[in-house]
Amino acid sequence: MPITYREVIELALPSRSGLERVAVDAAASVARLMGFSDDRIEDLKTAVEEACINAIEHGNQQNANVKVLVELIADDSKLQVDIHDQGKGIRGTVEKPDIDAKIARKQSARGWGLFLIQSLMDEVEFDWNPETGNVTRMVIHLKQ
């Protein structure tokens, strides 16, 4: 029977631009301890950075008195990162970024955050409820 474990690490970040790097470094440290490859750790760092920036800027409107809660949940097969903010989450459809449209000035040059998160993580979900607020949940699996 395989040994199983579960560790939960929590961070509470003031919603101030730049502090997303604290969550990025913490997630990378946990992933390194779990044995993820350097390439996967780079994927994780980018996804955590983008999700935290969204939480700080859009979710909590850069109000430093409101915290972004980051949960790093590690077990023997995966790392789950939950990023909570007090925003309303994603409403309606989000326009898929298209490089050709952006180069042709038909789309804003920005808007790559969700695309990067979904491209780089194994599982992504977004959830919102009026009591707990908005959560972005990302999972990467350890390949055996």
Partner 1 sequence: MQRECKISVHEDREFVTIDVQGDLTAIAEEAMGAAYQKACDYSPEKVLLKFDGRSRINSAGIALVINLVIESQERGCKVFITGVSRHFRKIFELVGLTKYTSIVGSEEEVTAS
The residues binding partner 1 (CB under 8 A) are 17-22, 39, 42-43, 45-46, 49-50, 53, 97, 99-100, 102-103, 105, 108-113, 115-116, 119-120
In terms of CB distance, is 29 or 112 closer to partner 1?
Answer: 112
In whole angstroms, the minimum distance from the beta carbon of 115 to partner 1 comes to 7
In terms of CB distance, is 25 or 76 closer to partner 1?
Answer: 25
CA 27 to chain centroid:
10
What are the φ and ψ backbone dihedral angles of 65, each rounded to 5 degrees?
A: -80, -10
In whole angstroms, the minimum distance from the beta carbon of 102 to partner 1 comes to 5
User: Is residue 134 a contact partner of residue 86, using CB atoms and an 8 Å limit?
Assistant: yes
Instruction: Provide the edge-to-edge strand list for the sheet that holds 67-75.
Output: 6-14, 67-75, 78-85, 133-141, 123-129
In whole angstroms, the minimum distance from the beta carbon of 42 to partner 1 comes to 4
In terms of CB distance, is 34 or 41 closer to partner 1?
Answer: 41
3-class SS at 80?
strand
Q: Which is it for the CA torsion 126, 57, 51, 28, positive or negative?
A: negative
In terms of CB distance, is 18 or 35 closer to partner 1?
Answer: 18
